[in-house]
Amino acid sequence: MLGDSGVGKTSLLIRFRDGRYVPSYFLSTVGIDFRNKVVVVDGTRVKLQIWDTAGQERFRSVTHAYYRDAHALLLLYDVTNKTTFDNIRAWLGEIREYAQEDVVIVLIGNKADCGSSERQVKREDGERLGREHNVPFMETSAKTGLNVELAFTAVARQLKCRGYDHGDDGKFNVHDFVRDNTKARSVCAQCRNM
Ligand code: GTP
């Protein structure tokens, strides 16, 4: 998981793994942390080992060392913070420099639960950036759970298809999967219940 400090990497991971959100939780990650979760993809158990990197610049040399081994990267920005969106191009540059060429990338605009008065990045801008770099895009909310499961499942399916599971026919397309399964904020059940 990559992206500027404060975009919600740890919160998204905790929401995915434990199904909870701690509102004022902001313990900036130091260096790197990891958590495991097993997901079931078409009857196959896929163990995801998820590395949560620190967004702060001062830890960059530590986190670079982990790019090379990553099979997939969730690249986050915060929809209420334009700077974090503008920095995505620089993050993609780092990925090109340090990660494997065929790494799976998913671009994520987090904090989609925030209202229009707080929002600084439109969903269309995220979609455009995703298209520009040929990476699937979705908005998520660690707070409400919007699309959180989808983000990790899309990665798990793509990795399974890449040959980590020999029974797969290799026809999975992460772009189509994300496009067909992304929920808009207005139809999220959890949002409706808030
Ligand atoms: P670093 O560890 O410094 O790289 O930060 P991080 O990207 O892991 O951010 P973290 O998960 O610590 O979240 C930063 C702040 O944003 C916290 O106060 C969270 O409660 C808040 N936050 C995270 N996700 C969401 C979200 O989906 N919606 C809202 N409204 N706030 C969020």
What is the model's pLDDT at position 170?
Answer: 60
The structural domain count of the chain equals 1
Give 9-26 pLDDT, tens digit per residue.
999 999 999 999 977 656
Range of the domain at 165: 2-192
Write out pLDDT tens, residues 83-138: 999 999 999 999 999 999 999 999 999 999 999 999 999 999 999 999 999 999 99
When pLDDT is averaged across residues 22-42 and rounded to a whole number, the result is 79
Q: What CATH number is associated with residue 119?
A: 3.40.50.300
| pLDDT computed for residue 182 by the predictor | 87
Ligand 1 geometric centre to CA of 6 (Å): 5
Q: How far is the CA of 158 from the centre of ligand 1 (A)?
A: 26
State yes or no: pLDDT of 40 exceeds 60: yes
The span from the CA of 37 to the CA of 16, in Å, is 9
Q: Which helix (H) or strand (E) holds 46?
A: strand 44-53
Average pLDDT of the chain is 87
User: Is the separation of the CB atoms in 155 and 74 below 8 Å?
Assistant: yes
Residue to mutate (ligand 1; options 26, 140, 144; most atoms within 8 A of CB): 26
Can you tell me the mean pLDDT for 1-6?
94
User: How crowded is the C-beta side of 48, counted as CA atoms within 13 Å?
Assistant: 27
